[in-house]
Structure 1
Amino acid sequence: MAKNKKKKKKLGKWVLFRDGLINTILSLVVCYLLSLLFLNITFFNPITKALQDFSFLDVYYSERLNADPNIEPNILLINIEHKTRNEIGLMLKEVLKAKPKVVGFDVVLKEFRKTAEDSLLASYLDNKRVVNSFVIDKEEFISNHSFFSGSNDIGFVNFNLNNQNSVIREFDSEIKQHNKIYKSFSLQIAKKYLNNHEWKNLNIDKKLKNSSVINYKGNLEKFLSFSIDEFMLLKDKSIVENKIVLVGYLGTPTGNVFDVEDKHFTPLNEITSGKSIPDMYGLVIHANIIAMILNNSFMFEVGNGWIFFLMFFFSLLASIYFIWLSRRLKISYRTARKAVLFVFAILLVWFTLVLFKKGIVIKSAPIIAVTVFSAGFIKFYKHLVRWINTKLKFKSYLK
């Protein structure tokens, strides 16, 4: 008798596991089909875009959980505002005279005006310490006029080319087009600043092999910045010696909140949902990327394979637990399910933020969404079991 009871209990556990597994697989398939629906139907584009532009990790930055009081010592920014080419050329002359290690010029001069000022500016841009920039617009390259294109290094200023979200969380260090490899502006500058031994010792090429999550140090306040007028008025310009000087647009005047030219959304935006005004200039994003490379403060991103495994694992656990719970609780089952899922979501978000602080990035939003969906899918699975039992005998833990 006891043996039969034990056998029945063991069989019940197996049936429970099998039900949980079937529910998990079916819910994942439905999730996948729904994701295709969201991606391919124009009506859902705004929803899809909103989901792509949301991350729990934005909370980490927006609440300044990573607050660092120190200013980056190796990078200086100079704001060109809307100055003339003559004024920009004179500033470059003074910068180069002060012996910086690298000068990044994040300005594209598409026209040659055949003036003396253009000739002087071209001679400074041809300096071996200068890294020029270009923009990749679909298949087209927008770069300096050939007159300003010297023999020195050049890099693209786009950030994440494969995943053009509104919020800049990642960047590509290189891209292959027309059988040629192009390197990013930030990468070229960092590589020029570090010697070959340091570069190889830090194993940076391997770390930048794929799209990399940007470990933001901060916004404009984390970098020493000058307008052209402020820099030209400095009596002692040795402050730039052996440093990286980034030249580009930082608003008129510098840091103008409402000036959105070359400005982007980043995780540092204080409004994590329904962002209205871009919060960071492109030049400052490049400064953050360069600082991350120089300080070797790369983020490790958990791969999609592991994300899928965690989705499957937590969905399976949720399916088994809630199928079991549905037989134990009749009246309060829904309340208990919602409470458990709420606690699970809070704990996973908390754990995600803890890992992020340690330099590990895990996308918890899809894990939470799929797990909650699998838990809710049980009622549909229950109806499916009942329908199957009208056709043939199917043993199930559900009643």
Structure 2
Amino acid sequence: MFKYLFKRDTLFATIAVFIVMGFFSFIPINTHFLDPIHLALSDFDYNDLAYAKMHKNENTPTDTNIVIVNVGQGNRQDIAAMIAAVDAQRPKAIGVDILFNDKKDAVGDSLLSNQFSTNKKLIGAYNINAPGGRGYFYKQSANKGFANFVGQEEGVIRHFTPIEKKEQVPAFAVAVLKVADAKSYDELLKRKQTTEIINYKRKADKYLIIDGMDLIAGKAVPSVFANKIVLLGYVSNGVNDVEDKHFTPMNEKYTGRALPDMNGVFIHANIISMAQDHDYIHRMPAWLMWSIAFLLCWLHMSLFIKDYLDNHIWFHLLAKIAQIISAVFFVYIGLLFFHQFDTQMNMTATLAAIILAVDVLYFYEAFATWLHKKKGYQTIFTHKHD
């Protein structure tokens, strides 16, 4: 392989691969015939396999800093009573992950309005894209954040936006952090990420859940809220209850998902846990990934040229085997980094380059041979194949 590594043709053929990749990126290609495949894989990211197959974060202990209050089917008077019961125990913050779109009963509306406008520990949630307004208590809320997730309309929730760029307003989980943990809040903002990858570490069973109706009926121990972050939201009753549920990478079915697996309140809880644990997912810089892609493509091109010139009869078989092994290996390396080091490696450019390398090599050989005949260009593609 190293016999041809530093040949001019190897370098130029590698550069040609990336020129072709850039050319394809600017061409609108009609791929409607691939729509069924696209629909099946539109929510798929190979990093999801780190959760489904490598059991990433499976043994993470319960988060004792966050308590979830299940509001169930409670009305607004009930929710106001839940907030009051929690607040009496002096929690760090109370996040209410409920969208109050319109006014309802006068008593319940009045009680909640008073809570949102006067309680400095209370954080309200709203839909930043709601066409009919941002909720009945939006203006009254002293603290608030948008509950929208990146990709919410399309499928799997893998990212969130800490600060909405246009209006400079925080996400709901970030607004909760600002009230409860200023140090973690500042650290999150210092990262200056437009979007953050959610490092999912806990399913619903890794958070303490208190039934809200039991709480106001005196059947729950209220002292569990003292000095905790408390999130009020809807918790599904069974697998088939999909109200306020979303798809996440922790879904056991990572392809062809039938049912969403996590309520929004637990996604917000995972974001808060990630920030408080200082356990973010890191992205390898784009320049580094492209540099790695170029280097690996160069090495593969050297191997392909060696087989093409020295062992031409078996070239196709050997090249395909090398491509398959490399694809599996680099996907595994990406998964390993994601699983062990909480680092996302985007290997797309590397895989695309290796896949295109063989076909580009044919075109480059023809072009180099033509230049040799017409201009006397010195190339290694001038002797007969074995």
State the TM bucket, normalised to the shorter chain: 0.7 to 0.9
Q: Distance in 2 between matches of 1:209 and 1:222?
A: 27
Q: 1:347 aligns with which of 329, 336, 356?
A: 329
- The one-character-per-residue Cα deviations of 1:158-183 (angstroms, maximum 9, x if unpaired) are 2227x975222221100122xx3111
Q: Distance in 2 between matches of 1:298 and 1:361?
A: 11
Q: Distance in 1 between matches of 2:7 and 2:143?
A: 60
CA distance 1:328–1:141, change in 2 (3 Å): farther
Q: Distance in 1 between matches of 2:293 and 2:28?
A: 19
What amino acid sits opposite 2:13 in the alignment?
Answer: N
Alignment of 1:373 onto 2:356: yes
Q: Distance in 2 between matches of 1:313 and 1:49?
A: 33
Aligned to 1:213: 197
What amino acid sits opposite 1:70 in the alignment?
Answer: P
Q: Distance in 2 between matches of 1:173 and 1:13?
A: 49
Contact 1:79 1:226 in 2 (8 A): yes
Q: 2:173 aligns with which of 169, 186, 200?
A: 186
What amino acid sits opposite 1:168 in the alignment?
Answer: I
Contact 1:134 1:141 in 2 (8 A): no
Q: What SS class does the counterpart of residue 331 from structure 1 fall into?
A: helix
Q: Give the fraction of aligned pairs with identical amino acids, expressed as a percent.
A: 27
- Per the TM alignment, residue 206 of structure 1 is displaced from its structure 2 partner at its CA by 1.5
Aligned to 2:288: 306
Q: 1:278 aligns with which of 232, 236, 260?
A: 260
CA distance 1:266–1:13, change in 2 (3 Å): same
Aligned length: 377
What amino acid sits opposite 1:172 in the alignment?
Answer: T
Contact 1:168 1:267 in 2 (8 A): yes
Contact 1:38 1:44 in 2 (8 A): no
What amino acid sits opposite 1:170 in the alignment?
Answer: H
Q: 1:245 aligns with which of 218, 230, 253?
A: 230
Q: Distance in 2 between matches of 1:168 and 1:210?
A: 15
Contact 1:75 1:243 in 2 (8 A): yes
Q: What SS class does the counterpart of residue 332 from structure 1 fall into?
A: helix
Aligned to 1:3: none
Contact 1:134 1:142 in 2 (8 A): no
Aligned to 1:236: 221
What amino acid sits opposite 2:212 in the alignment?
Answer: I
Structure 1 stretch 21-30 or stretch 34-43: which is displaced more?
34-43
What amino acid sits opposite 2:124 in the alignment?
Answer: N
- Per the TM alignment, residue 88 of structure 1 is displaced from its structure 2 partner at its CA by 1.7
- Per the TM alignment, residue 97 of structure 1 is displaced from its structure 2 partner at its CA by 1.8
- Per the TM alignment, residue 199 of structure 1 is displaced from its structure 2 partner at its CA by 5.1
Q: What SS class does the counterpart of residue 190 from structure 1 fall into?
A: helix
Aligned to 2:368: 385
Q: Distance in 1 between matches of 2:191 and 2:48?
A: 23
- Which runs of 5 or more structure 2 residues have no equivalent in the other structure? none
Question: How large is the Cα RMSD of the aligned pairs?
Answer: 2.9
- The one-character-per-residue Cα deviations of 1:118-148 (angstroms, maximum 9, x if unpaired) are 111222233111111111228x5842225x6
- Which runs of 5 or more structure 1 residues have no equivalent in the other structure? 1-9
Aligned to 1:86: 77
Q: Distance in 2 between matches of 1:303 and 1:249?
A: 38
- The one-character-per-residue Cα deviations of 1:243-282 (angstroms, maximum 9, x if unpaired) are 111112222x2xx322333322221122222223222222
Q: Distance in 1 between matches of 2:102 and 2:208?
A: 31
Structure 1 stretch 289-298 or stretch 372-381: which is displaced more?
372-381
Q: If the length of structure 2 is used for normalisation, what is the TM-score? A: 0.87
Aligned to 2:299: 317
CA distance 1:38–1:62, change in 2 (3 Å): farther
CA distance 1:299–1:87, change in 2 (3 Å): same
What amino acid sits opposite 2:162 in the alignment?
Answer: S
- Per the TM alignment, residue 49 of structure 1 is displaced from its structure 2 partner at its CA by 7.0
- The one-character-per-residue Cα deviations of 1:162-220 (angstroms, maximum 9, x if unpaired) are x975222221100122xx31111111111211145x655xx332125331111111221
Q: Distance in 2 between matches of 1:130 and 1:375?
A: 60
Q: 1:296 aligns with which of 278, 283, 286?
A: 278
- Per the TM alignment, residue 369 of structure 1 is displaced from its structure 2 partner at its CA by 2.7
- The one-character-per-residue Cα deviations of 1:337-357 (angstroms, maximum 9, x if unpaired) are 222223322332232233221
